[in-house]
Amino acid sequence: ENGKGYKILLDLYEGPQYKIRNISWSGNYIHSDEKLLHRLNFNPGDVFTENEFNIAISERVSPLYTDNGYFYSQINPSYTPVDDDLLDIHFEIVENQIVHIRKININGNEKTHENVIRRELRVFPGDIFNRKKLMDSYRDIFMLNFFDNVMPDIISVSENEIDIQLDV
């Protein structure tokens, strides 16, 4: 009620609840269908929840690639409704090249010696890109308590090299 005595009623139809019928993969050469499906942790018969499904892709499947140098990998799901309540899901994987780190630049540091920041890094020039190590590095630099924020930026150099820029 809005204080004037009016009631607002909404008639909401959520539509059918979809269950997963099939999950298929193509373009994956590094990891098997079984390994990708295990990491996704969704199986035929499970209720499809878009938000949980997207989280599973970004937090469980994608790191199989991004933690092993495949910075430019892509995981593209397509959804095909079947009957009224089933869903076929097909993943097109584009693995691309393994990427190496060319340079790591630190900008905006006016609080400490640069080597204090650099010794917190878990990635180094020449290394194969590793998203987890990079995120751990950002966290460790932030935990030094010198900076209000640590902003990572990845700069594409070529199909197999990147630069990392840290704005502190």
Element of type H or E holding 135: helix 131-142
The Cα 22–Cα 44 span in angstroms is 6
* Closest to 106 measured CA to CA, from 61, 77, 146, 161: 146
SS3 of residue 39 by DSSP = helix
Looking at residue 2, its pLDDT comes to 56
CB–CB of 131/72 below 8 Å? no
54 φ/ψ sector (left φ>0, alpha ψ -120 to 50, else beta)? alpha
Q: What are phi and psi of 158, to 5 degrees?
A: -155, -175
Q: Which amino acid is at 61?
A: V
Rounded percentage of the chain residues whose pLDDT exceeds 70: 98
Looking at residue 3, its pLDDT comes to 65
| pLDDT surpassing 90 at residue 121 | yes
Looking at residue 14, its pLDDT comes to 80
Residue 114 class from Cβ within 10 Å (0-12 exposed, 13-18 middle, 19+ buried)? exposed
| pLDDT surpassing 70 at residue 164 | yes
